[in-house]
Amino acid sequence: MKGASIKKVLILVTILAVPGFLYYLLQDQGKNRYKPLPFFGKKEVGKTFHSVRGKMIPDTIYHHVNDFKLVNQKGDTLSWKSYEGKIIVLNVFYTKGATDGVGFANKAMKAFDATYAHNKAVNFIGLTIDPVHDTPKVIAEFAQKLSAQAGKWDILTGDSTQLYNLINNGLIIDARQEPVRGEMRFVYSNMFVLLDTERRIRGYYEATSQEALSKLDDEIKVLLAEQLRNTKDGR
C-alpha cells in the first residue's frame, strides 16, 4: 500500500509540473499515445509503401531543410552533420536589430537554452540575416552577451546567399532587405522554428507571444517523446 501511495504522489507531481504537455497525451486502453505534431512544407507521395491493418499505404515524403556550411561563434564550420540526432529550435536575427543589445526573441531563446541545458537531445541555432556586418568576431561578442555556449546554442553567420536560401527555402520563413524611407532595412519573420531529428519542420511559433512560447516548450517535449518511441521501435 505504501508503494502504491508513493506512486500516486509521483504521478500527481508530474501532472502538476507539465499541465500543457498533457494536452498531447491521449489515453487508449491504458496506453499513452502521443498526439503527433504536423509536418510543414511541401509533401509528396513516395514510391515506397507501409502496411496499415493489412492495407498498403504509400509513404509520404516531407519537406526537409536543406544542408549548409556556416560558421559559429567559436569559428567552427558547421553543417547538419554537426546536429545529427538532435531536435533543433531556430530563429533569425541581426545584431543591429537588437534594440536593447540582445532582443526579445534572443532573450526567449536564452530561457529555452537554460531549460534544456542538460538535455543533449535538444540544440538551438540563431541565424543572422546581416552577415556583412555580423562577422564571426561580431557574433562571438554577441554570443558572449547571451552566454550562448557553442555546441549547444550556436550563433551562425557566413555566405549571404547560403543563409537566405536556408531561411527562405529551407525554413520557409520570410527574410529580405527592402527600402524603407530611402534606406535599406531588414524585414523578417520573428518566429521560432522547430525541427525534428530528420530536419523536418514541425512547428512555427511567434517569438513575442508567451502563449506561443509555452506551446513550443510543450511541443519540444512531444518530439522528445516521439524520438524515444521511435528508438524503442527501432526506427
Q: How far apart are CA 82 and CA 69, in angstroms?
A: 10
Tens digit of each residue's pLDDT (9 = 90 or more) over 128-154: 999 999 999 999 999 999 999 999 999
Let me know if residue 40 belongs to a domain: no
Let me know if residue 135 belongs to a domain: yes
Residue 184 belongs to a domain with what CATH number? 3.40.30.10
By percentage, how much of the chain surpasses pLDDT 70? 80
Let me know if residue 42 belongs to a domain: no
Let me know if residue 32 belongs to a domain: no
Instruction: Quote the distance between the C-alpha of residue 107 and its chain's center.
Output: 15
Q: Is the pLDDT of residue 81 over 60?
A: yes
Let me know if residue 181 belongs to a domain: yes
Structural domain span for residue 103: 70-232
Nearest alpha-carbon partner for 35 in 228, 225, 212, 195 = 225
Let me know if residue 25 belongs to a domain: no
Let me know if residue 179 belongs to a domain: yes
Let me know if residue 133 belongs to a domain: yes
Question: How many structural domains compose the chain?
Answer: 1
